[in-house]
Amino acid sequence: MKNKWSSLAVACLATLLLSLDLTVLHLALPRLVTDLGASATQLLWIGDMYGFALAGLLVTMGNLGDRIGRKRLLLIGTAAFGAASAVTAYAPTPELLIAARALLGVAGATIMPSTLSIVRNVFTDPGERTAAVGIWSGMSAAGFAVGPVVGGLLLDHFWWGSVFLINVPIMALVLVGGIAVLPESRNPHAGRIDLVSVALSFTGVVTTVYAIKEAAHRGPEHADVLGAGVAGIVLLALFVWRQTRLAEPLIDVRLFARRAFSVSILTNLLAIFAMSAMMLMFAWYLQLVLGWSPLLAGLAQLPGGLSGAVGGVLAARLIQPLGRNGVVALGLAMNAGSFLYYTTLGAELNYLTLLPISIIGGMGVGFAFTVNNDNVLATAPRQRAGAAAAVSETAFELGGALGIAILGTVLTSAYRSGLDLPAGVPGGAAAAESIAGAVGAAAALPAEQAERLIRAAQAAFIEGMHLTSYVTAALLAVVAVLALAGLRGVPKVIPEEVPAAERR
């Protein structure tokens, strides 16, 4: 197909922006307190609303693209994302900002599965498809790496809304490029979307993600958090049960009987579970322990993220010598090794010693995600590419939420148990909550007391970081073994599955 590489470029640009948009907000949150007067609860909703809408609608939008056309849905979503970004940038109150973030999530849910399903349908040659998925995965990793740097640069010179307004010209470029080069594709035999399944999918995923996030913020022992968790599991179970009864389900649950599909989904979920904890841990370590600025902290993490993009491109070439299971296991093992190194970090850092380790770990992530994403797409029928991509993206969102909740709790619990507050120094209650609370309390103390409080908090945080790194390294090692065994026998070149309607 003449325009397939141009189509890949458009899909990658949209993916790059979505990944970037997921990370730039974190740096802007402090500005929202001063400029909009946002409360702590409102800040949580501003941060979470995008993810709620995105995760809840991925499956529905992936199926919608299969039915009405992936190009059409991508263009609609691109226009909506650009418009919602402008509304978000100029939101005058926290309430309107939360609503605008919800609109961004809805628009993002139309774009994410569309980009990957377009790649699947444009690249029908197995070798080219794997290479294209690698490039797509690389752009996603690059977006996560570049996001904090772009956000830091913008916030150093402009107001908080600039981190959203930058989306508008890029989305305009995606829209124009998409109209010009993207081919249309859809499932020619798709039936109607089952609205009951849509409701179960949305409420089940959103309720589950809400419960996970609230468990991380407030603890799992609260009745409403437990209730939301149980309700989410029940709703998702009903959703799966209903899919087995429908002729045209939102998700063909029989795909999970294909080992390459189910193991790849599971290993991706567990890998992003670990990676989300690393992003949170390092953001705090670089800024609150080492005292680096947000921009400098973003720049420090840039090489690791960009090496993930390089790993995505190189992964396709490693499949032949190592096999698909070998590439995924190698990537996860490299990442596990980087976490073991993080257990040696202290209150001072020689960045030149950290740099090669972060590059190795990032490249390993690129290896694993690329091959797993290709496995998911290749083992699903081409006419169901949108639904398959949506399952993969939903697992990504759930894994990220679980990682923050569970490993973040490990980090926080270890910090609190290891905190040895200096006698006679005020601010102990705030310091016991988090290292950020300790830094905030120290700002109001005399220099000598502030130094003692901050040193105690930093020592406790480093201890918690070491424990979290050990746990994460062990988890990644287990997942590497799971991938090595579970993906054994998956062909190095997964043949294209020809739809029944196209067979001669």
Q: Which is nearest to 94 in space by CA: 131, 158, 141, 44?
A: 44
Residue 503: is its pLDDT beyond 60?
no
Give dist(CA 279, CA 338) in Å, integer: 13
Helices marked H in 250-350 — which ranges?
259-284, 294-342
Residues 6+ apart with CB under 8 A from 72: 65, 184
Average pLDDT, integer, range 335-357: 89
Stretch 262-278: mean pLDDT: 82
Q: Which two tokens stand for residue 4?
A: 């397939």
Task: Look up the pTM and report it.
Answer: 0.80
Express as a percent the part of the chain with pLDDT over 90: 11
**Residue ranges covered by each domain of the chain:** 1-193, 258-494
Matching fold, domains 1-193 and 258-494: yes
Orientation of helix 294-342 relative to helix 351-379, angle to 10°: 80
pLDDT tens track for 99-141: 998 899 889 888 888 887 888 878 877 778 888 888 887 787 7
User: In the chain, what percentage of residues exceed pLDDT 70?
Assistant: 92
Query: CB count, 10 Å around CB of 219?
Result: 11
Confidence of residue 46 (pLDDT cuts 50, 70, 90): confident
Residues 184-238 have pLDDT tens digits of 877 766 667 888 888 888 888 888 878 877 776 676 777 777 888 889 899 989 9
- The reported pLDDT for the residue numbered 326 is 93
Whether residue 333 has pLDDT greater than 90 = yes
Q: Are 153 and 40 in contact (CB under 8 A)?
A: no
The residue-averaged pLDDT of 272-295 equals: 79
pLDDT score for 125: 79
CA 176 from chain centre, in angstroms, equals 27
Q: What does the mean pLDDT of the chain come to? A: 82
Residue with tokens 């774009």: 111
pLDDT tens-place string over residues 153-177 = 887 788 888 888 888 898 899 999 8
**Main-chain phi, psi angles of 281, to 5 degrees:** -65, -45
Amino acid 217: pLDDT: 66
CA distance 308 to 272: 13
pLDDT of residue 501: 43
Annotate 152-178 with DSSP letters as a single string.
Answer: HHHHHHS-TTHHHHTHHHHHHHHHHHH
Homologous superfamily of 258-494: MFS general substrate transporter like domains (1.20.1250.20)
Over residues 70-95, mean pLDDT: 89
Comparing 292 with 388, which gets the higher pLDDT? 292
Residue recorded with tokens 């979290």: 468
Alpha helices in 69-93 (DSSP H): 70-89
* C-alpha span between 5 and 159 (Å, rounded): 37
Please state, in angstroms and rounded to a whole number, the distance separating the CA atoms of residues 289 and 454. 9
Confidence at 500, pLDDT banded by 50, 70, 90: very low
Q: How far apart are CA 328 and CA 317, in angstroms?
A: 13
CATH class of 1-193: mainly alpha
